[in-house]
Amino acid sequence: MFEEFKKLIKSETYFFLITPAYMWQIMFLVLPIVFVVVLSLSAGQGAHLVQSFTLQNFYEVFQLSQIRIVVRSIVLASTTAIASLFIAYPVAYFLALHIKRFKFFFLFLLSIPFLINVLVQVYAWFFILEKNGVINHVLMMLGLVEKPLNFLNSYFAIYLVMFHVYLPFMIMPIYSSLEKIDTRLIEASYDLGASFRTTFWNIILPLSMPGVQAGFFLVYVVSFGEYVIPSLLGGLKHFFVGTLISEYFFIGNDWHLGAAFICLSCGILFISAILYYVFFNKITVRSKVIR
Amino acid sequence: MKSIKLVNVTKSFGFDLILKNFNLEIPSGKFFALLGPSGCGKTTVLRMIAGFEEPDHGEIYLGNTNISHLPINQRRVNTVFQNYALFPHFNVFDNVAYSLRVKQFSQDEIEYRVAKMLKMFGLEQLKYKSVRQISGGQQQRVAIARAVINEPDVLLLDEPLAALDMRLRERVLVELIELQEELGMTFIYVTHDQTEALTVADQMAIMGKKGQIEQVGTPKEVYEFPKSTMVARFVGSTNILHGNLEFEHETLYLYLDEKNRVLVPMVGNWQELLKQDRVYLSIRPEKVELSKSPLIGFTNHVVGTVSAIIYHGRSTQYNIALVNGTVMQVFEQNEEHFPKETIDYDDVVNVYWQTENSVLLKS
C-alpha cells in the first residue's frame, strides 16, 4: 500500500493530478500576497507603480492613530473570541456529553446560522436594535425608558452582533472534540476517585483543547478583519482594520498605503496569535498537573 | 477485601428490562467469574457495582455497607475497562499515579508506590512512554496497575482480554490468577468466553439470556454437574439427548424413541421428573468411547453412523448420527500415530458411556 503510494508520487499521473491544486494556490494565495507586499514597498497612484522601492508607506502607517485602529481590532477580536469561548464551551459540553435524545435536532438548530448569509443576519439585528425596533418597543411598553434608545452606530451593537455571528464557529469545533472523547475515560477518572472538578480540569479540558484552540483562532482571525458588521452597525465613526483597508482602497484610492497597512496589521495579528497559542499551551501543560 | 451482595436488583434502560429481581453473592477474596452470552446484562451488573449505573430497585452491599447509591468516586471498587480507557494525554507513570494524586498523597509516597507497582508489572522501562506508544499487552498491564494501586476492596474486570491475541491471552490469564493470589482482593471477572472463566475462576456464575442466574459454583461443579441444558451447552460442548423418563425394575431409563433407551443416574430430584413429558440428558463428548468392535464394561450403548470427522490436533471430533436422528459429538484423544482401528465416514460405530458420567436435566 505504502510502496504503491510512493510509486504514485513519482509517477506523472500524480503530477498532473496535483497541478490544478498548486495552480489554484499560486494564483489565489501566493500571487496576491506577493502583490500586496510589492505594493506596500512602492509608491504611486492606485495600482500604478511610480517609485519602485520606498519605505515611505510604512512611515505613514506607523502612526499612533493607525496603530490604535489595529489595537482596537485586536481588542474586538479578543473580546469576541473569549466571550464566545466562555458561552460556547458549556453549550458544546452539554450537547456532546449530556444530551442523548434529540441531539440531531439541536445540531440542526446550531447549523442554521451557517445557512444564512452574514449580511442577512446583520440586517435582522437592524430590526431588533433600531429606534422603532423590537427592543425599544418593549422597553417603551414597559415604561422603562421615556424615548427610544440609540443602539445602532455604537460599539455595543458591533460587539453584540459579532458575538452572535461567530458563536457557532466556536461551538462546532469544541463540540466535535468533546464528542470524540471516550466516555469511559471520564468514567475511569471517577472510578479512580476523582471529583467532577478534577475530571474536568485534568481529563476533559486537555482532551478538548484541540477544539478550543481551533474555535478560538477561527473566531479570532476572522473577526480581526471583519468588515461587514462594523461598517453596517458602527456607522462611520468606528473604524476597524477591515473598514480602514476598504477606505484606503476604494475611497482614498491609495493602494500602496493600504497594502502597507495590510502588512502591518497582518504582522500584529500574527504576533498576537502566537502569544495566544503560547498561552493555550501553558493551559494544556498546567491542566495535566493534578491538584 | 470484602464481599459483594446484590439483593433483588432491578434495572431497565428505557423500556428494556435488563435485570429483574437479581440476586448474587460474591464471596470475599475470591476470583469470581460472571459468565454469560452477550447482551445478558452481565456488564450492567458490573457497572452497577462500580457505580456507573444505579439500580432502579434493590440494594448492593459491599461488605455490610449499602453502596447502591454511593457516588462512583467514593466506592472502594476499581475497574479495568474492556478497552483499558487509559488517559491518552498522560504517560505510563501519570496514568498509574492518577488515583494517588487525586487523593493528594505526597510526591515521595507517589514515587515510591508507583515505582513498586511498575516493578511488579514489569513496566519500569516504559515509565515515561506515552500510553499510545506501547503495545496492547503493555497497555493492559498499565490498566490493571492503575486500578490496583489504589488497593480497592474489589477489582472489576470487564472482558479485559478481548483485545489481546490468543497466545498473549493465555499468559495474561495465568498472571491474573497469580496477581489475585498475591493481592488477595476480590476479583470480579466478566466475560462471555467460557474457557477464560473456567481457567481463572474460584467461583463462577452463569447468566442466562434474560438476565437470570442459571447456576453458581466452582468451575468443576458447573462443568461436570450443570443444572440446565443452557449451562451445559454454554460451558464447554455437550450432547443433549431427550426423551421421556421411565422407572422399570428399580432402574431409571430415558427412552429416546420406542425401541432405544439409555440408563440414567438416579441422583437428585429424578422422582419429580418422572411426571415430566420430556427430560434431558447431558453427556460431555470426551466422556464417550467410540469403537467399531464391541467393548465391554460400559453401562450404556447406542449405535450410529459417522457423519463428520473434524481433526483438532490433540483430539479428533466425530459426529455420530444416531438411529433416531440425534447427532452426538465425540472427542477422541489422538494418543497414537497409528491407531489400531481407523474410523471413516459412514462407518457404523458403537458409542459407549458410563451412566454416572451423564447428567439428568429438567430443562
Residues B221 and B243 in one domain: no
Nearest to B83 among A184, A189, A203 (CB): A184
Residues B162 and B218 in one domain: yes
Total domains in the fold of chain B: 2
Cα four-point dihedral sign A129, A130, A134, A140? positive
Residue A175 has pLDDT above 60, yes or no: yes
Q: How far apart are CA B191 and CA B200, in angstroms?
A: 11
CATH of residue A232? 1.10.3720.10
First to last CA, chain A: 47
The partner residues of B85 in beta bridges, in order of sequence, read none
* Residues of B whose CB is below 8 A from A185: 85, 87-88
Contact (CB, 8 A) for B92 and B129? yes
**Residue B168 confidence (pLDDT):** 85
* Residues of B whose CB is below 8 A from A290: 98, 101-102
Q: Is residue A54 part of a domain?
A: no
Residue A88 is inside which H or E element, if any? Answer: helix A64-93
Distance from CA of B83 to the nearest CA of A (A): 9
The partner residues of B25 in beta bridges, in order of sequence, read B5
**Residue B277 confidence (pLDDT):** 81
**Residue A107 confidence (pLDDT):** 87
B70, B73, B100, B149: which to substitute to probe chain A, counting the most A Cβ within 10 Å?
B73
pLDDT in tens, B62-118: 988 999 999 999 999 999 998 899 999 999 999 999 999 999 899 999 999 999 999
Inter-chain residue contact A194 with B98, CB threshold 8 Å: yes
**Residue A262 confidence (pLDDT):** 92
This model of the complex carries an ipTM of 0.85
Nearest to A191 among B78, B87, B94 (CB): B78
pLDDT in tens, A251-263: 888 888 889 999 9
Inter-chain residue contact B72 with A191, CB threshold 8 Å: yes
B105 touches chain A (CB under 8 A): no
* Residues of B whose CB is below 8 A from A184: 81, 83, 85
A100, A180, A192, A205: which to substitute to probe chain B, counting the most B Cβ within 10 Å?
A192
Nearest to A192 among B52, B78, B83 (CB): B78
Contact (CB, 8 A) for B326 and B241? yes
**Residue B95 confidence (pLDDT):** 93
Q: At what angle do helices A64-93 and A205-224 cross, to 10 degrees?
A: 140
**Residue B14 confidence (pLDDT):** 85
Q: Which of A71, A119, A120, A82 is nearest to A224 (CA)?
A: A71
Domain that holds residue B272: 238-361
Domain that holds residue A102: 66-118+152-286
* Cβ count near A221 (within 10 Å): 15
Residue type, B104: Q
User: Could you tell me the pLDDT band of residue A3, with boundaries at 50, 70 and 90?
Assistant: confident
Residues B307 and B326 in one domain: yes
Residues B154 and B288 in one domain: no
Residues B73 and B179 in one domain: yes
Residues B217 and B307 in one domain: no
Nearest chain A residue to B50, by CA: A191
**Residue A290 confidence (pLDDT):** 66
Q: How far apart are CA B308 and CA A204, in angstroms?
A: 56
Nearest to A190 among B73, B88, B147 (CB): B73
Contact (CB, 8 A) for B144 and B92? no
Residues B19 and B32 in one domain: yes
Nearest to A194 among B77, B89, B102 (CB): B102
First to last CA, chain B: 37
B145 backbone dihedrals φ, ψ, rounded to 5°: -60, -40
Over residues A94-99, mean pLDDT: 90
Distance from CA of A3 to the nearest CA of B (A): 24
User: Could you tell me the pLDDT band of residue A291, with boundaries at 50, 70 and 90?
Assistant: low
Q: How far apart are CA B198 and CA A222, in angstroms?
A: 62
Last residue of a domain, one of B233, B260, B276: B233
Total domains in the fold of chain A: 1
Contact (CB, 8 A) for B184 and B32? no
Inter-chain residue contact A206 with B51, CB threshold 8 Å: no
Q: How far apart are CA A95 and CA A85, in angstroms?
A: 15
DSSP string, B181-212: HHH--EEEEEES-HHHHHHH-SEEEEE-TTS-
**Cβ within 8 Å of residue A260, ≥6 positions away:** A39, A40, A57, A58, A60, A61
Q: How far apart are CA B20 and CA B208, in angstroms?
A: 12
Distance from CA of A281 to the nearest CA of B (A): 13
Q: How far apart are CA A219 and CA B263, in angstroms?
A: 82
**Residue B1 confidence (pLDDT):** 67
Over residues A57-73, mean pLDDT: 86
Inter-chain residue contact A188 with B85, CB threshold 8 Å: yes
**Residue A182 confidence (pLDDT):** 92
Inter-chain residue contact B51 with A189, CB threshold 8 Å: no
Nearest chain A residue to B158, by CA: A184
DSSP assignment letter at A28: I
pLDDT in tens, B192-240: 988 889 989 999 999 998 889 999 999 999 999 999 999 999 998 898 8
* Residues of B whose CB is below 8 A from A191: 50-52, 72-73, 77-79, 147
Residues B138 and B254 in one domain: no
**Residue B324 confidence (pLDDT):** 77
Inter-chain residue contact A195 with B72, CB threshold 8 Å: no
Inter-chain residue contact A193 with B99, CB threshold 8 Å: yes
Q: Is residue A127 part of a domain?
A: no
Distance from CA of A291 to the nearest CA of B (A): 7
Q: Which of A124-128, A207-211, B8-12, B200-204 has the lowest mean pLDDT?
A: A124-128
Q: Which of A21-25, A30-34, B348-352 has the lowest mean pLDDT?
A: B348-352
pLDDT in tens, A129-167: 888 888 888 888 888 888 888 888 888 889 999 999 999
Residues B165 and B24 in one domain: yes
Give the C-alpha distances (Å, rounded to integers) separating A277 from A37, A90, A166, A208, A212: 26, 22, 20, 15, 11
Q: How far apart are CA B351 and CA B291, in angstroms?
A: 7
- Edge-to-edge strand list for the sheet holding B57-62: B16-26, B4-13, B57-62, B65-66
Please name the residues between 20 and 79 in chain B that touch chain A, using a CB distance below 8 Å. 50-52, 71-74, 77-79
**Residue A1 confidence (pLDDT):** 60
Residue type, B342: T
Q: Is residue A135 part of a domain?
A: no
B101, B128, B158: which to substitute to probe chain A, counting the most A Cβ within 10 Å?
B101
CATH of residue B49? 3.40.50.300
> Which residues from A are below 8 Å from B when comparing CB atoms?
182, 184-185, 187-195, 198, 203, 206-207, 288, 290
Q: Is residue A173 part of a domain?
A: yes
Last residue of a domain, one of B216, B233, B250: B233
* Residues of A whose CB is below 8 A from B83: 182, 184
DSSP assignment letter at B257: S
How high is the mean pLDDT of chain A? 87
**Residue B361 confidence (pLDDT):** 85
Residues B216 and B352 in one domain: no
Distance from CA of A97 to the nearest CA of B (A): 15
Q: Which residues of chain B have pLDDT under 70?
A: 1
CATH of residue B341? 2.40.50.140
* Residues of B whose CB is below 8 A from A192: 73, 78, 98-99, 102, 146-147, 150
Inter-chain residue contact B146 with A195, CB threshold 8 Å: no
Contact (CB, 8 A) for B117 and B93? no
Q: Is residue A275 part of a domain?
A: yes
Last residue of a domain, one of B204, B233, B262: B233
Q: Which of A219, A224, A169, A183 is nearest to A96 (CA)?
A: A183
User: Which cell numbers in the block locate residue B235?
Assistant: 460451558
Distance from CA of A205 to the nearest CA of B (A): 11
User: Which cell numbers in the block locate residue A207?
Assistant: 482532551
Q: Where are the alpha helices (DSSP H) in A101-204?
A: 103-115, 118-129, 134-141, 155-180, 183-191, 196-199
Residues B163 and B289 in one domain: no
**Residue B147 confidence (pLDDT):** 93
* Residues of A whose CB is below 8 A from B44: none
